[in-house]
Amino acid sequence: MAYWLMKSEPDTFSLDDLRSRPDSTEHWDGVRNYQARNMMRDQMKRGDKVFFYHSSCPVPGIAGIAKVVREAYPDGSAQNPESRYYDPKASAENPRWFMVDVKFERKFKRLLPLSELKAEPALAEMTLLKKGNRLSIMPVSEDEWQQILSMV
DNA sequence: GCCAACGTTGGC
DNA sequence: GCCAACGTTGGC
């Protein structure tokens, strides 16, 4: 089993939104970056755990945990001209973009702010904290996962 | 709203 | 294949 971090803007889709979905499950559509897509498509497995990160908001940070319940399949929003994620180069034959389904697992007692992650020396090598990293999906090592859980 | 740090596009 | 221009992300 692997660990991941996935970013979402809470104004658009928050951890509470995920929890309130039917079966607390939602498909993670709209990923339009090849590196992030490749990790979803090739590496994310059912049962993997995910830190749900809130970005572009007053206090960015980790809100809680979700898990992967369905492995990658075509992201239909890429083929829908009405969608904000529409991509004219995607087709049924070549879907180009993929998504996984994630399910709510738990919400932390408090949001763990980015500022605290940055201040923790044990997390200095974490991808999230590396300068210039803007990936919306990134791997988390087991050590990092445990370290973060101990800080909540 | 600013801006650094990318990623993507497209002319050549 | 190079690279300038442009668009996006996301913290601050």
User: Which domains occur in chain A, in start order?
Assistant: 3-151 (3.10.590.10)
Estimate in Å the CA A12 to C1' C4 gap, whole number.
Answer: 34
User: What is residue A88's predicted lDDT score, i.e. its pLDDT?
Assistant: 82
pLDDT at A107: 98
- In whole angstroms, C9 C1' to A34 CA is 15
pLDDT of chain A, 152 residues: tens digit per residue: 999 999 999 999 999 999 999 999 999 999 999 999 999 999 999 999 999 999 999 999 999 999 999 999 999 888 888 888 888 888 888 889 999 999 999 999 999 999 999 999 999 999 999 988 889 999 999 999 999 999 99
For residue A72, the one-letter residue type is: A
Question: Within 7 Å: CB of A127 and strand C?
Answer: no
CA distance A57 to A41: 28
CB A114 within 8 A of CB A148: no
pLDDT value at position A68?
Answer: 98
The count of other CB atoms within 10 Å of the CB of residue A35 is 12
**DSSP code, position A130:** S
- pLDDT for res A14: 96
